[in-house]
Amino acid sequence: MCNVSSKLYYLYRTFGYDLTFDLTILFNSKSLKMKTKHTFTVILFTRKSRSNPKQLSIYVRVTINGKRSEISLKRVIPVKAWDCSKNRGKGSSQKIRTLNAYLDEVYNRLLECHKELLAEDKFISSEAIKARYLGEDDNSKTLRELIAYHHGNMAFVRIRTVKYTLDRTLKISSLQVKNKWTSNFICLSS
């Protein structure tokens, strides 16, 4: 790879005038094009409903650098009422207008999630945006994590009853969460 200053000197000697400014702009504009960190797209699309072939289920796909993540919006629309070119409902009925407003809100919220992750200087991926949109990102804590945190901070307390109470609370809450939700974890943000 040649040194830029030697190229400038060669052009100066060959053409007789200083091209430093022109080449600096050329190199800087080329480097600006190369600084694109990632591609980001949000697409609304539909799939035929499995339970009713005359209905379409609505999904949103977030793509970053070719990696996809899909979210079901849990909405259905009749096949005849969907406009494929606009990815919106056709018509002006109240139901269609409400659906289109909801689709706009989802689209804007996904863009917001992307901006938030950029502002927080976190790793940007389609899964990270999906998790932020669904409220499952790192900011949410589980009940077990909260009790464990409290238990860790209460370790300096030497009173047996407090320690016994915390241990008992952790055990009972874990059993209740398992029995009720068939999962060991419950998210506090939900």
DSSP states of 100-137: HHHHHHHHHHHHHHHHHHHHTTPPP-HHHHHHHHHT-S
Q: What is the pLDDT of residues 120-172, one digit of tens each?
A: 888 888 999 999 999 887 655 666 777 777 666 665 555 555 556 666 676 76
Which position has the higher pLDDT, 170 or 15?
Answer: 170
| Mean residue pLDDT across the chain | 75
User: Which percentage of the chain shows pLDDT scores above 90?
Assistant: 41
Q: What are phi and psi of 93, to 5 degrees?
A: -70, 160
Question: 80 pLDDT exceeds 60?
Answer: yes
User: Phi/psi zone of residue 135: left (φ > 0), alpha (ψ -120 to 50 degrees), beta?
Assistant: left
pLDDT band of residue 33 (cuts 50, 70, 90) is: very low
Alpha-carbon distance of 128 to 130, in angstroms, equals 5
Taking the complete model, does pTM exceed 0.75, yes or no? no
Question: 74 pLDDT exceeds 80?
Answer: yes
What mean pLDDT comes out for the span 75-102?
Answer: 94
Hey, where are the domains in the chain?
4-34, 40-134, 143-181
Which residues have C-beta within 8 Å of that of residue 153, sequence separation ≥ 6? none
Cα distances (Å, whole numbers) of residue 154 to 145, 161, 184? 14, 12, 23
